[in-house]
Amino acid sequence: MRLSRYLAHCGVASRRAAERLIADRRVSIDGVVVTDPARDVDAASGVAFGGRPVLPEPRETWIVNKPLDVTSTAREPGRRRAVADLVTSDRRLYPVGRLDADSTGLILLTNDGELANRLTHPRYRVPKAYRAVLRRPIGARELARLRSGVELDDGPTAPSEVDRVGPREIEITIREGRNRQVRRMVEAVGNRVSALERVRFGSLVLGDLPPGAVRRLSRSELRRLWKDAGR
């Protein structure tokens, strides 16, 4: 197995993040630092990250209803809590993608790097749905612009699915993962987001999970997520 995939498989990081760790010379094999992410390894190869042995561990994936002012990180050195602090587990869990501190709702934590990579890689176009409360009512023209794609400073967005839930509330589904994308899209049509909640990730729905609550995903939910991610 490729070294980068092995690190992801063992829950150290996603595959792309593992490649960065290797390039930063933080991974060794039998005490020797390696920089080749394609190096063939297995559990008996003596892989270590930060001086600690890396071995496969049982997979865990959790759904979290992230509250406001909680960061989408495994650790948070500042005053705010990290989303990983909400889950009680002995595994090395990390978030699947990001959800801004001023946004709430569904975020996944896992130690399955392969699943995390597939769910966030643009190639697989996994949909994510958000409920957005807007500063002012939104009209049919603005909705049409959001649906067809808008121009942002990092290029045009792909078409999205948008439904008006109320005069100042929409549900928008995107298949990209740009930084603060929904907020910037709304600003591009002359409005602003007052509150943003992610309510769906692939086939997984937030439902009535209370803010700050967590639960481990069932096998059937994981099978559906893998199907969402193209496997």
Catalytic residues: 100
Residue 79 contacts residue 101 (beta carbons within 8 Å): no
Residue 198 contacts residue 103 (beta carbons within 8 Å): yes
Question: Could you tell me how far CA 219 lies from the centroid of its own chain?
Answer: 19
Q: Cα(121)–Cα(194) distance, rounded to whole angstroms?
A: 28
Q: Mark 13-25 as b/e (b = at least 16 C-beta within 10 Å).
A: bbbebbbebbeee
Around Cβ 208, how many Cβ atoms within 10 Å?
Answer: 7
Residue 114 contacts residue 61 (beta carbons within 8 Å): no
Task: Fill in the amino acid letter for 122.
Answer: P
H or E element, residue 128: strand 128-134
DSSP-assigned states of every residue in 168-220: TEEEEEES---TTHHHHHHHHTT--EEEEEEEEETTEE-TTPPTT-EEEPPHH
